[in-house]
A and B are shown apart, each in its own frame.
Chain A
């Protein structure tokens, strides 16, 4: 049997998984914009979106509709084929990269099939390389958009982005080599499992993660990843105060939305990757013997749900008074389900920690946007080539020597 081609009923499961993941990712994308606007607003002592729906919660929906119904002009003199190809390419590659991420260790058993969380097959032994391959192609979306628009600012944005992504890709790839040496595998599942305590060894919880031995690699990776996703403080390709909107200046309506979704999806992918490589993926930060921490999802969800219900009763509009209590009841119900059914609670532990860590990284992304000023172009290049690349190479050499020493003298 060919390792990459599923049988017929597995094909159905795969398609269903793709549809569900696509729906989840696009919804998370939409609410990520809401989250970002809210957090940045509060950093700047503003309210953020609060008109459309309770707490502005329907703002993403309104934005989405607006993207659909706006006029979609094609500027004169554009290279038609490449102009239409670029946003498609950006979006397709960003969404493909999410398919490689595994979200949990245990399968759901359904009609004799083991359904694992995540689309990629378990034995995708080049996991991290496949992800880098997709990110490596991601630069074309931005570069081609800049070039095909036949306009100065997009061209400058496209050039900046190509140079930036090529420079930082080196640091990005070099900084994970330490993790790969420690795990001895490219497979993302193996990388996470390598961070769990080996059988018969004391369980130190979060102190077993790659974050501590690979702290240099972690910083290099996260900084390079922020630069790869063109986010503040590395958002030179779309610096609005210098280049109008950079590479997507000439794009309107849904084509612009595609770039937007692509950017937010790659933020999610990078956060997932950071979690997997350095924060132990779905591993709990507490030792396995602390079973009481398994109630943490309920302890968070139930008070939050109750607060949403209370908040809903105090809300000004009728709509808010109806919707917020309903949402709050649903959240509380989930918290109660996790307490009442222990096997469901056990199952959601891994995805819960995974999503919490991803959310942490997404918050850091937004926090950085609210806090840091943009780099100057020469600073950006100097930072990438003169700091990140050498530091990540030093990290690789140090890690190799430590692993060699451990093998030589058997120090455990």
Chain B
């Protein structure tokens, strides 16, 4: 077994364990921590594929900014341990069915595309930041700018909603 393949399996295992742990943990902070593990493991997988830029951005945006806000809100609200209920009759069987269907679908896709796992551990040339920026700012500049505009509107909306009403 080559080193990249070994690292791939370790990181994948971390991501899967983190994701399962996220659901099983009772305390919101523990769940948030598990999600951070998933994010960082995903960043490691991107790095393994040679996508340095995506890996760094994954950690900065998801691992850093977004998850810090999650943790911050949980701390600020001082959320307690949540109660786990047994599966409700309505949600239980259809949920399990849907989960099984999704797993089968993903497995089928992986099985059909054959060497995906191999491909995930192989790198050609390092994908350069330049290549990404050329795609974002040249080839897909209009969708990109539209998305930015949408996010800007959302930020403004949040600011307006959060303002105290003037009495």
Interface residue ranges, A against B (CB under 8 Å): 2-5, 79, 81-82, 85, 123-126, 129-130, 132-134, 136-137, 139-140, 143-144, 146-147, 155, 158-159, 162-163, 165-166, 169, 186
Q: Which of B48-56, B85-93, B100-108, B109-117 contacts A (4 or more CB under 8 A)?
A: B48-56
Q: Is the CB of A140 within 8 A of B71?
A: yes
Residues of chain B within 8 A (CB-CB) of A82 are 29-30, 33
The residues in B between 9 and 35 inclusive whose CB is less than 8 angstroms from any CB of A are: 27, 29-30, 33
Q: Given that A126-B53, A137-B63 are contacting pairs, would A147 and B33 also be in contact in the complex, using a CB cutoff of 8 Å?
A: no
Residues of chain B within 8 A (CB-CB) of A144 are 29, 33, 71
Partner of A125, one of B36, B63, B69, B129: B129
Render B125-139 as a binary contact track against A, CB cut-off 8 A, 1 for contact: 010110000000000
Give Cα A123–Cα B128 distance, bound, in whole angstroms: 11
Q: Is the CB of B52 within 8 A of A155?
A: no
Q: Given that A82-B33, A133-B63 are contacting pairs, would A155 and B129 also be in contact in the complex, using a CB cutoff of 8 Å?
A: no
Q: Which 3 A-B pairs have the closest CB atoms?
A: A136-B64, A129-B56, A133-B59
30 example contacts (A-B, Cβ-Cβ < 8 A) are as follows A3-B50, A3-B123, A3-B126, A79-B27, A85-B33, A123-B126, A124-B52, A125-B126, A125-B129, A126-B56, A129-B60, A130-B52, A132-B56, A132-B60, A133-B59, A134-B59, A136-B63, A136-B65, A136-B68, A140-B71, A143-B71, A143-B75, A147-B75, A158-B75, A159-B72, A159-B76, A162-B71, A162-B72, A166-B72, A186-B129
Give Cα A384–Cα B43 distance, bound, in whole angstroms: 29
Residues of chain A within 8 A (CB-CB) of B33 are 82, 85, 144
Residues of chain A within 8 A (CB-CB) of B65 are 136, 166, 169
Give Cα A81–Cα B65 distance, bound, in whole angstroms: 23
Partner of A162, one of B57, B59, B68: B68
Give Cα A384–Cα B55 distance, bound, in whole angstroms: 28
- Further 20 A-B residue pairs, CB within 8 A, beyond A136-B59, A140-B36, A147-B75: A3-B50, A3-B123, A126-B52, A129-B60, A130-B56, A132-B56, A133-B43, A134-B59, A136-B68, A137-B59, A139-B68, A140-B71, A143-B72, A144-B71, A146-B75, A162-B75, A165-B68, A166-B65, A166-B72, A169-B65
Residues of chain B within 8 A (CB-CB) of A137 are 36, 40, 59, 63-64
Tell me the dominant secondary structure on chain B's binding face: helix
User: How far apart are B1's CB and chain A's nearest CB, in angstroms?
Assistant: 13
User: How far apart are B55's CB and chain A's nearest CB, in angstroms?
Assistant: 8
Q: Given that A125-B126, A125-B129, A159-B72 are contacting pairs, would A136 and B60 also be in contact in the complex, using a CB cutoff of 8 Å?
A: yes
Q: Which single residue of chain A is at the shortest CB-CB distance from B36?
A: A140
Q: Which single residue of chain A is at the shortest CB-CB distance from B122?
A: A2
User: How far apart are B76's CB and chain A's nearest CB, in angstroms?
Assistant: 6
Partner of B75, one of A2, A155, A186: A155
Q: Is the CB of B75 within 8 A of A139?
A: no
Residues of chain B within 8 A (CB-CB) of A123 are 126
Residues of chain B within 8 A (CB-CB) of A4 are 47-48
Chain A CB within 8 A of B3 CB? yes
Give Cα A123–Cα B48 distance, bound, in whole angstroms: 15
Partner of B53, one of A129, A155, A163: A129
Residues of chain A within 8 A (CB-CB) of B48 are 4
Q: Is the CB of B123 within 8 A of A166?
A: no
User: How far apart are B58's CB and chain A's nearest CB, in angstroms?
Assistant: 8
Give Cα A144–Cα B50 distance, bound, in whole angstroms: 32
Give Cα A129–Cα B63 distance, bound, in whole angstroms: 13
User: How far apart are B12's CB and chain A's nearest CB, in angstroms?
Assistant: 17
Q: Which single residue of chain A is at the shortest CB-CB distance from B27?
A: A79
Residues of chain A within 8 A (CB-CB) of B3 are 2, 5
User: How far apart are A345's CB and chain B's nearest CB, in angstroms?
Assistant: 36
Give Cα A126–Cα B53 distance, bound, in whole angstroms: 6
Give Cα A132–Cα B59 distance, bound, in whole angstroms: 9
Interface centre among B43, B48, B72 (most CB of A within 10 A): B72
Interface centre among A4, A79, A130, A147 (most CB of B within 10 A): A4
Residues of chain A within 8 A (CB-CB) of B64 are 133, 136-137, 139, 169
User: How far apart are B93's CB and chain A's nearest CB, in angstroms?
Assistant: 34
User: How far apart are B62's CB and chain A's nearest CB, in angstroms?
Assistant: 10
